Amino acid sequence: MRALLQRVAEASVTVEGAVVGAIGPGLLVLVCAMPGDTEAEAQRLAGRIARLRIFRDANGRMNLPVTASGNAVLAVSQFTLAADMASGNRPGFSRAAPPDEALRLYQDFCTALGALGIEVQTGIFGAEMKVALVNDGPVTIWIDTADRA
């Protein structure tokens, strides 16, 4: 699975003119399931995000995880993170998991975050969404479970 995280002061997702998910301080997580990803990888990604120390401590240092800071996560499915730009100018998305598999893994990911004590707001899988955010820092981090670091 892949995720692009942005530390935010606030973020929201709107579908057909209605806000369906919104958070104050926390993380906006754009998440993409890849073919062959498993529930275990969804849980591993959630754990890595929960432990990532990118929130400021009392000394202003990036030293706290989202779990310690009391912040929330806005998780938005984003199949375009699987874009293949190997040739031409039009991206291909065949490296994204099929929709039914991707939905299941996205839900597994959100459930795993919630089980770690994190408030999770979501977009609507497969919908045309408008995502708004105020980046804090800015801090933007890419995580891919295929990278075994």
Provide the annotated active-site residues. Answer: 78-80
In 1-149, DSSP assigns E strands to 2-15, 18-23, 26-32, 55-56, 62-64, 72-77, 119-122, 130-144
Cβ partners under 8 Å of residue 62, min gap 6:
53, 54, 55, 56, 139
Structural contact between residues 36 and 28, judged by C-beta atoms closer than 8 angstroms: no
Q: Is the dihedral of CA 137, 11, 108, 98 positive or negative?
A: negative
Structural contact between residues 14 and 130, judged by C-beta atoms closer than 8 angstroms: yes
